A = this chain, B = another copy of it.
């Protein structure tokens, strides 16, 4: 993560960096990201409880609540934790105004100093965000109330081309709406940092690239980008089965041996976060003996179970019970596993289950 953050900062040398650590640091744990991303300018996340954790851990620089408040009462904690807060709806503006009305003068003064607002424009993604008209209204209401108000939007397709709305169209709308309004700006996610450098502005918001996976879901798109995988998911072989041609493996008998086949059973299943959608042929790195780096890619054979996967190790005859296995990491990009399973690295990282023992290496 340190390496990837340095790389993101090198690509955006004139911008500050919100490191996006929502979803428990994309599955890398808050302790993990605190250790790996301490060089960031700020952390961006969703959950006030997680913000409190980072403050308790000693983080004194900015923290941004990416979805803002979920009720008026959240503002008390935003004040005490000194958070930057996204505002994406007029409902949230109203909560802030009501909260101010109920506050004393000193509390109000503290609020204006300690809470920064980041208005979120819906510039075409049509998920969270204010329409142009509501945006200008919200800006003036919060500005008049006394807050520093900044500007933010999110790209729908920075990881692709020729898909509407384009980055250009979203930037154009963002500039048109925010023109003449005071405040800092933040637009760029990982894909924009890598491929749309004119969007960097005051603060960029790298997420997936910090964890060493591709915004597009395709490893080849970041193969030359000098990113390193942050998560290594490893296990070992706990069983071997010798099949004759025609034998089947696992639930539903999806894999049928086309030759005499050796199957290795690996202690990792969908209840660990391994994708149940992984088809026969999806890649798993298996050691040929005791040394993980000596081995090769073996194909999944049979449906992923809750606690196990089965792979064809016929071409790796020295694999044995106890041989180590990498599900994704240094030897096998997470993007390759995700792509084979019809998803993206983001989902696999976030899906890492609580029962998987985690070892944070700094």
**Residues of A at under 8 Å CB distance from B?**
22-24, 26, 46-47, 66-67, 70, 88-89, 91, 122, 124-129, 131, 156-157, 159-160, 163-165, 238-243, 247-253, 263, 265, 267, 270-271, 273, 276-277, 302, 305-308, 310, 321, 342-344, 346-347, 350-351, 353-355
Contacts and interface: CB of A to CB of B under 8 A. Distances in A.
B46 A307 contact: yes
B343 A276 contact: yes
A122 B249 CA distance: 11
Nearest to A166: B253
Nearest to A27: B271
A270 B124 CA distance: 22
Contacts of A250: 125-127, 156
Contacts of A310: 126-127
Contacts of A252: 156-157, 160, 163
A57 to B, nearest CB: 17
Contacts of A125: 249-251
Given A239-B128, A277-B277, A306-B350, A253 B157 contact: yes
A12 B33 CA distance: 50
Contacts of A47: 355
Given A22-B307, A127-B305, A350-B353, A239 B88 contact: yes
A347 B273 CA distance: 9
Given A67-B267, A253-B156, A241 B127 contact: yes
Most buried by B among A70, A89, A129, A239: A239
A157 B251 contact: yes
Contact of A308 (B127, B253, B277, B321): B127
